[in-house]
Amino acid sequence: MLTETNDYDKLCREFRWEIPPRFNIATACCDRHADGTSRLALIYVDEGGSSRHVSFDELADLSRRFANVLKADGLAAGDRVALFLSQSVELPLAHLSAFRAGMVSIPLFALFGEDALEFRLANSGAKAIVTDASGWEKLAKIRHKLPDLKKVYLVGNEAPAGTKAFWPALKAASADFATVDTAADDPAMIIYTSGTTGNPKGALHAHRVLLGHLPNVEMVHDFFPRTDDVMWTPADWAWIGAIFDVLFPALYHGVPVVGHRARKFDPQAAMQLMADHKIRNVFLPPTALKLMRQAEVKHPGVRLRSIFSGGEALGAELLNWVRATFGIEVHEAYGQTECNLCVGNNARLFPIRPGSMGKATPGFDVRIIDEHGNEVPRGRRGIIGVGQPNPVTMIEYWKNPEATQRKYAGGFLLTGDLGWQDEDGYFWYLSREDDVITTAGYRVGPSEIEDCLLKHPAVAMSAVVGIPDPVRTESIKAWIVLRPGFAASDSLAREIQEFVKVKLAAHEYPRFVQFADSLPMTATGKVLRRELRALG
């Protein structure tokens, strides 16, 4: 979609959306490349390091077979199919099968517990689910509460009563399946929000959502794709930031994707994986980059062409570390489950400004607005709003018209994030509306304080929240995970407080410091500040 250039203004001025009236993700991401040449689509690396290569031809054959399985088992267009799997061969295959059949897929994080799983399956009315033995262990305990769930397809060597073996069913099915002729606006996927505030909501996305992601993916990966590009992310493929920032955009462009089922993120193992499989393009969430910095990773065989990050602001310290370690800039981007990748960076188009999310993605109208949808002046705090319509925006919140209506004002989608825009068009994230700390008359966002804390040599990770204060309304409290070699103490806490006072501002230093072994996070790696606020 993007024409390569060094001129950002020209790129935006000449950009035009090309959204065909009829569009199906399976056709675009699989069938276009399944030309009989065994073109590589997926490299799956198991826990032992062995790899399996899957071609687009094989992916097309297998996904047609599973589409026939779904249809033979009574599912019809519009029915929901849940995928409770980590990175695997089966996950993209099952998504593509659902798309072919005009069904709606639901990605679910493999780390979800029973309550999280039950809420999403019940709320979506999922008719079928694909999972593995560990997923079935959780699902079996709640299945009696899910009357809509008719079919459980199990990946693995056994199929207990009430389940159906995935691979035998697939291999016994016909590979002859006519993909449903879907409109670009037809439903394709429900992705549940992180649930940082209240119950998660299901963002219902259309097939066009893939096309809506492409301009930003191409921009932040420095005009992706290029010859020899290979894409990877350690992020779970259930997150929109992995599934539509990595998996399907890469397949759309015919670029191989590396999948790896890691029990937890290991920085050194990640470097080895990138070297072994000649990975060129990565999406590394901020948490992964912080862990890699903490481990001081190095590997002569890693030759990355592009690094994309998003989800939380990186700040100057991490940006400088990435540049020194990998020899390239990390390009941050911004978006959310409901309307993703609307802002981003590319150092060739404009200089990176540490702490900034970048500029509006070509094709997007992003502004700082008030709660009524009115634009506020440059430099002033407001809500980050995204002009409508655009192809990346959700159709609606599933079964939640009230929340859907509250999401829009004055022709803009209200992200619920606070930020500001400078005179040169750069956007700066401040915080979620819920995370703003009101202290002694000041309104303070936690991100700037967390970025400052990260510059202290003892700090590996931090989270800042406001806690009740009878005098100041709220006091600032910092929860800190220390780097190896540092021990928690009152003197270290005072040192860190003074560091923030000097580096940032006297009214923004944390009056309370608490050391912790880890921070509560969503499955996507975002800090759950509400849990920290509840602890006081």
Phi/psi for 103 (5° steps) reads -90, 175
Q: Which residue has the higher pLDDT, 426 or 355?
A: 426
Rounded CA-CA distance 351/369 in Å is: 25
Q: Is 194's pLDDT higher than 70?
A: no
DSSP 430-499: EEEGGG-EEETTEEE-HHHHHHHHHTSTTEEEEEEEEEEETTTEEEEEEEEEEPTT----HHHHHHHHHH
SS3 content of the chain, % helix, strand, coil (to 5): 30, 25, 40
CA distances to 144, 217, 316 from 210, in Å: 35, 10, 31
Q: Quick check: is 95 in a domain?
A: no
The angle that helices 446-454 and 315-326 make with each other, rounded to 10 degrees, is 50
Cα distance between the two ends of the chain: 48
- Going by pLDDT thresholds of 50, 70 and 90, the confidence category of residue 507 is confident
List the CATH number of the domain containing 518: 3.30.300.30
477 C-beta neighbours (distance < 10 Å), count? 21
pLDDT of residue 523: 63
The angle that helices 267-276 and 286-295 make with each other, rounded to 10 degrees, is 100
Q: Is 383's pLDDT higher than 60?
A: yes
pLDDT tens-digit map of 66-116: 999 999 999 999 999 999 999 999 999 999 999 999 999 999 988 887 888
Average pLDDT over residues 17-45: 97
Based on its alpha-carbon atoms, the radius of gyration of the chain, rounded to whole angstroms, reads 23
401 C-beta neighbours (distance < 10 Å), count? 9
For the CA atoms of 395, 398, 402, 408, the dihedral, rounded to the nearest 10 degrees, stands at -30
Q: Quick check: is 466 in a domain?
A: yes
- Going by pLDDT thresholds of 50, 70 and 90, the confidence category of residue 531 is confident
Rounded CA-CA distance 384/340 in Å is: 12
Phi/psi for 420 (5° steps) reads -150, 160
pLDDT of residue 434: 67
Q: What is the CA 493 to chain-centroid distance, rounded?
A: 33
Q: Quick check: is 234 in a domain?
A: no
pLDDT of residue 262: 82
Average pLDDT over residues 338-345: 97
Name the residue with tokens 């088992």: 73
Contact 516, 480 (CB under 8 A): yes
Contact 409, 386 (CB under 8 A): no
Tokens of residue 61, six digits: 């054959």
DSSP 56-110: HHHHHHHHHHHHHHHHHTT--TT-EEEEE--SSSHHHHHHHHHHHTT-EEEEE-T
Q: Quick check: is 531 in a domain?
A: yes
Average pLDDT over residues 514-535: 84
What's the chain's average pLDDT? 93
Q: Is 368's pLDDT higher than 70?
A: yes
Q: Quick check: is 500 in a domain?
A: yes
Rounded CA-CA distance 355/353 in Å is: 6
Q: Which one, of 361, 31, 369, lies nearest residue 211 by Cα?
A: 361
Q: Quick check: is 477 in a domain?
A: yes
Name the residue with tokens 């050391």: 515
Window from 72-81, 286-295, 335-344, 379-388 with minimum mean pLDDT: 286-295
For residue 334, the surrounding DSSP H or E stretch is strand 330-336
pLDDT of residue 313: 75
pLDDT tens-digit map of 466-500: 998 876 778 999 999 999 999 999 999 999 999 98
Q: Quick check: is 528 in a domain?
A: yes
The angle that helices 286-295 and 315-326 make with each other, rounded to 10 degrees, is 60
Tokens of residue 265, six digits: 């993120």
| DSSP collapsed to 3 states, 20-45 | CCECCHHHHHCHHHCCCCCCEEEEEE
Rounded CA-CA distance 409/407 in Å is: 7
Which range of residues forms the domain containing residue 477? 436-535
Q: Which one, of 329, 332, 327, lies nearest residue 302 by Cα?
A: 327
Rounded CA-CA distance 16/265 in Å is: 39
Q: Which residue has the higher pLDDT, 114 or 340?
A: 340
pTM: 0.85
CA distances to 71, 128, 321, 451, 500 from 455, in Å: 55, 48, 11, 7, 9
Q: What is the CA 424 to chain-centroid distance, rounded?
A: 27
Tokens of residue 214, six digits: 């492409």
For residue 513, the surrounding DSSP H or E stretch is strand 512-515
Rounded CA-CA distance 529/449 in Å is: 14
For residue 8, the surrounding DSSP H or E stretch is helix 8-14
pLDDT of residue 516: 95
Q: In this prediction, what percent of the chain has a pLDDT beyond 90?
A: 78
pLDDT tens-digit map of 244-273: 999 999 999 999 999 998 888 899 999 999
Rounded CA-CA distance 49/52 in Å is: 10
Q: Quick check: is 334 in a domain?
A: no
Q: Collect all residues with Cβ–Cβ distance below 8 Å to 81 and sequence separation of at least 6.
A: 70, 75, 94, 97, 98, 103, 104, 105, 106, 126, 127, 128, 129, 130
Q: Is 199 helix (H, G, I), strand (E, B) or coil?
A: coil
pLDDT tens-digit map of 418-461: 899 999 999 998 877 667 686 765 657 687 788 889 989 999 99
Q: Is 150 helix (H, G, I), strand (E, B) or coil?
A: coil
Average pLDDT over residues 117-137: 95
Q: Is 412's pLDDT higher than 60?
A: yes
Q: Is 340's pLDDT higher than 50?
A: yes
The domain tally of the chain equals: 1
pLDDT of residue 196: 47
Contact 480, 515 (CB under 8 A): yes
Average pLDDT over residues 133-151: 95
Q: Is 50's pLDDT higher than 90?
A: yes
Q: Which one, of 206, 220, 201, lies nearest residue 361 by Cα?
A: 220
Rounded CA-CA distance 89/327 in Å is: 32
| DSSP collapsed to 3 states, 390-439 | CCCECCEECCCHHHHHHCEECCEEEEEEEEEECCCCCEEEEEEHHHCEEE
